[in-house]
Every structure is written in structure tokens, then in C-alpha cells.
Amino acid sequence: MGSYSEDSDDKVWSAQLLYKIDSNAVVYARYRDVKMGEGRFQCGETTSKDLRGKSDSFKEASIGIEYWF
């Protein structure tokens, strides 16, 4: 499951749930799983290697309330 980022070999899977609590606020839960590739990307007809090298993969989860004025 997941999809490759455009012009990259990084694989990202994400999900988000929102629950509206009034007209200006939502409670949210977000999750993201990022698997970093080898740093390769497409540049025209050529596949190049990013100078970053291989970065660490990570998982991220958050919950909270967003309120806007």
C-alpha cells in the first residue's frame, strides 16, 4: 500500500481522519509512514542520484484540534 512520490523513489503512505466539532474547528488524527529510497530521481531522460544519500525512514502520528478564525 502507498504510492511513490513524484519523480522520486521515496514511498509514502498516509491517512487522515477529521471530525467536525463546530463550524470553525475539527479534531484530527494523522499518520504517515515514509520509506526513503536511494535518493534517485528522474531528470529528463536520465535518472540521477540526489546528493542527500540515503536518509532515515520514519513513522509519524499526531492528534489534535484545528481551529480557525
Q: Which tens digits make up the pLDDT trace of 19-64? A: 999 999 999 999 989 887 766 666 666 666 655 555 678 899 999 9
Domain boundaries, the chain: 3-67
Rounded to an integer, what is the distance from CA 36 to the centroid of its chain?
11
Q: What is the pTM of this model?
A: 0.59
Separation CA 3–CA 5 (nearest Å): 6
Return the closest-CA partner of residue 65 out of 15, 16, 25.
25
CB 48 within 8 A of CB 39: no
Please give the pLDDT value at position 57: 83
What's the burial of 19, exposed, middle or buried (CB within 10 Å: 0-12/13-18/19+)?
exposed
Residue 10: other Cβ atoms inside 10 A:
20
**pLDDT score, position 12:** 82
